[in-house]
C-alpha cells in the first residue's frame, strides 16, 4: 500500500507540475509570465530529473517551446539527452506520434507543409507551418539560433530542409561574392556555420539529407549563380557532418549554367534529381519540318553511392503544347513518386498550372489548369509552390497571398483550405526565398547537428 501511495503522490506531483507549466506557457504567450516564472523554478528544482523529463515530455509542442522561453532551468532541461528520450517515448506511445523513418527510435513532431518565413521587428527569424495531421496553421519556434538577416534583402535567401534540419545560405548573392551556409535544428535551437566551400560561390542547388542510423547529415551543393563564373558553374561539393568537411565530386554535365534555377532537388532511392537545361533539344530537332524545341528542360540525376551525375538528361519535362514556354519549374516528391510542377505560358498570353508524374521513363500529366489572375508568373521569387499534402494529394500554395488549393490525384478533385491566419504575419516582414520550398518539414528533437 505504501508503494501505491508513493506512486499516487508522484502522479499527483506530475499532474500539478504539468498543469502549472501549461498555464505558464499560456501566460508566456500573452507576455504575463514574469511573476509566475519566479516561483516556478523553485518547485521545478525540487523534482527528480526523471520527473522533470516526463513533465516536459508530455507538453504539447507549442507549450513546450513557450515554456522554454520562461527561464534557464527549463531551457537546460529541454537540451538534455534524457528529455529527448522521454519525449521520444511519449510520442511513440501517443496518438500524435509521427514517424517517417525506418529507424524506430526516430520520431518527429508532425509534418508541416507549406512553411512561411518571417522576420519580426527585433530582427529574429519566425515561421509558421500548416500541420498536415492536425490540419491547421501553427506558429513554430522562433529561429533565434540564426543571425539576424539584412532587412534590405529579404528576397535573397536560399533555404533547404529535411527531417528536422534547415540549411540556409544567409549571404546575399547580389552583394557578397561567397556563400555563408548555416544549418540549424529549430527545436533544439542548435546551429552550425558550415566551413567554406572549396570553390567559393553561391550555389543554385542545395539539398539536405539526414542519416538517422549514423546520427549524421549531408549537404549537396552544385552550380553557381554568378555570371562570369563559368569555371564554377559545373562544380559539385558534398558536406559530411561526420568529417566536418566538403568533398569535391564529379562536375555537372551539359552546357554552361545548365543548372540555372534555384532549387533543392528531390531524393529518391539513393538518387538526387534536379532540373537542368538540356542540349538534347537540338538532337531531337533533326527533322527540318519539326518545330524547334524552346526552353527544353529535363531531369539530371546524382548517385549518392557513386558520387557521379548521370551522363545525360534524357527525361525531358512535358510541355502542354508545342509553343508552350516554361515560366517556372519545380520538382517534388510525394509518396515515393516524383512530380514536376510548372507554370507554362500558352499562345503568348495564358498561363497554365501543370503537374506531371514521373514513372521512371516518362511523364503523365495529372493536373492541367488555367491560372487565374495575372497572366505571367513572378520571376523574381517563386509565387506558387507545389507540395505533398498527404496520400495522393498535392497542394498548390500561393506564397504571396498565402492561399492553398489541394488536388486529390486519385479522385481528380480539389478543395481550398484555410489560408495563413492574418495574426501569424501581423507586424512581420515576409521573407521570399530564392527557391521554392517544396519539402515537407518534420521538426524533431532527435536530429543532431
- Given a cut of 50, is residue 103 above it in pLDDT? no
Closest-CA residue to 278 (of 304, 257, 292, 262):
257
- Which DSSP symbol is given to 408? E
- Given a cut of 70, is residue 265 above it in pLDDT? yes
**Alpha carbons 28 and 21: distance in angstroms, whole number:** 10
Contact 157, 206 (CB under 8 A): no
Q: What is the pLDDT of residue 175?
A: 67
64 φ, ψ (degrees, to nearest 5): -65, -50
386 φ, ψ (degrees, to nearest 5): -110, 135
**Quick check: helix, strand or coil at residue 51?**
helix
Q: Of the spans 49-58, 105-114, 422-431, which averages the highest pLDDT?
A: 422-431
- Given a cut of 70, is residue 196 above it in pLDDT? yes
Q: In what order do the strands lie in the sheet with 245-248?
A: 205-211, 216-222, 236-240, 245-248
Please give the average per-residue pLDDT across 17-33, as a whole number. Answer: 50
Q: What is the pLDDT of residue 49?
A: 87
- Buried/exposed code over 178-217 (b: 16+ C-beta within 10 A; e: otherwise): ebebbbbbbbbbebbebeebebebbbbbbbbbbebeeeeb
- Given a cut of 90, is residue 166 above it in pLDDT? yes
Alpha helices in 69-135 (DSSP H): 72-78, 81-93
Q: What is the pLDDT of residue 281?
A: 43
Lowest mean pLDDT among 89-103, 295-309, 398-412: 89-103
Amino acid at each position: 500500500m505504501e508503494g501505491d501511495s508513493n506512486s499516487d503522490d508522484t502522479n499527483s506531483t506530475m499532474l500539478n507540475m504539468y498543469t502549472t507549466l501549461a498555464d505558464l506557457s499560456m501566460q508566456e504567450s500573452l507576455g504575463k509570465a514574469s511573476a509566475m516564472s519566479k516561483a516556478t523554478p523553485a518547485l521545478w528544482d525540487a523534482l527528480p530529473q526523471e520527473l522533470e523529463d516526463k513533465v516536459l515530455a508530455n507538453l504539447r509542442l507549442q507549450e513546450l517551446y513557450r515554456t522554454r522561453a520562461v527561464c534557464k532551468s527549463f531551457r537546460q532541461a529541454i537540451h538534455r539527452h534524457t528529455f529527448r528520450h522521454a519525449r521520444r517515448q511519449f510520442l511513440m506511445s501517443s496518438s500524435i506520434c509521427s514517424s517517417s523513418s525506418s529507424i524506430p527510435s526516430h520520431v518527429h513532431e508532425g509534418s508541416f507543409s507549406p512553411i512561411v518565413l518571417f522576420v519580426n521587428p527585433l530582427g529574429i527569424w519566425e515561421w509558421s507551418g500548416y500541420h498536415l495531421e492536425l490540419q491547421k496553421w501553427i506558429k513554430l519556434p522562433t529561429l533565434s539560433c540564426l543571425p539576424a538577416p539584412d532587412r534590405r534583402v529579404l528576397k535573397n535567401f536560399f533555404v533547404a530542409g529535411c527531417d528536422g534540419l534547415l540549411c540556409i545560405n544567409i549571404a546575399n548573392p547580389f552583394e557578397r561574392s561567397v556563400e555563408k551556409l548555416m544549418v540549424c535544428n529549430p527545436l533544439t535551437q542548435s546551429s552550425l556555420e558550415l566551413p567554406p566551400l572549396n570553390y567559393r560561390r553561391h550555389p543554385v542547388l542545395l539539398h539536405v539529407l539526414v542519416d538517422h542510423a549514423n546520427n549524421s547529415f549531408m549537404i549537396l551543393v552544385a552550380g553557381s549563380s554568378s555570371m562570369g563564373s563559368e569555371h564554377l558553374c559545373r562544380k559539385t561539393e558534398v558536406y559530411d557532418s561526420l568529417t566536418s568537411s566538403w568533398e569535391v565530386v564529379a562536375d555537372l554535365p551539359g552546357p554552361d549554367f545548365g543548372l540555372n534555377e534555384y532549387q533543392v532537388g528531390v531524393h529518391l532511392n539513393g538518387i538526387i534529381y534536379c532540373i537542368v537545361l538540356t542540349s538534347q533539344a537540338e538532337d531531337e530537332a533533326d527533322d527540318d519540318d519539326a518545330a524547334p524545341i524552346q526552353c527544353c528542360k529535363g531531369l539530371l540525376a546524382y548517385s549518392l553511392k557513386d558520387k557521379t551525375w548521370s551522363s545525360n538528361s534524357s527525361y525531358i519535362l512535358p510541355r502542354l503544347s508545342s509553343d508552350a514556354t516554361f515560366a517556372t519549374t519545380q520538382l517534388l516528391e510525394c509518396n515515393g513518386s516524383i512530380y514536376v510542377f510548372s507554370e507554362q505560358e500558352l499562345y503568348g498570353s495564358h498561363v497554365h498550372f501543370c503537374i506531371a508524374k514521373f514513372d521512371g521513363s516518362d511523364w503523365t500529366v495529372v493536373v492541367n489548369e488555367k491560372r487565374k489572375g495575372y497572366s505571367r508568373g513572378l520571376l523574381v521569387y517563386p509565387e506558387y509552390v507545389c507540395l505533398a499534402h498527404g496520400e495522393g494529394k498535392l497542394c498548390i500554395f500561393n506564397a504571396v497571398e498565402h492561399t492553398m488549393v489541394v488536388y486529390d490525384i486519385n479522385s481528380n478533385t480539389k478543395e481550398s483550405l484555410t489560408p495563413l491566419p492574418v495574426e501569424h504575419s501581423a507586424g512581420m516582414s515576409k521573407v521570399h526565398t530564392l527557391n521554392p520550398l517544396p519539402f515537407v518539414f518534420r521538426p524533431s528533437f532527435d536530429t543532431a547537428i
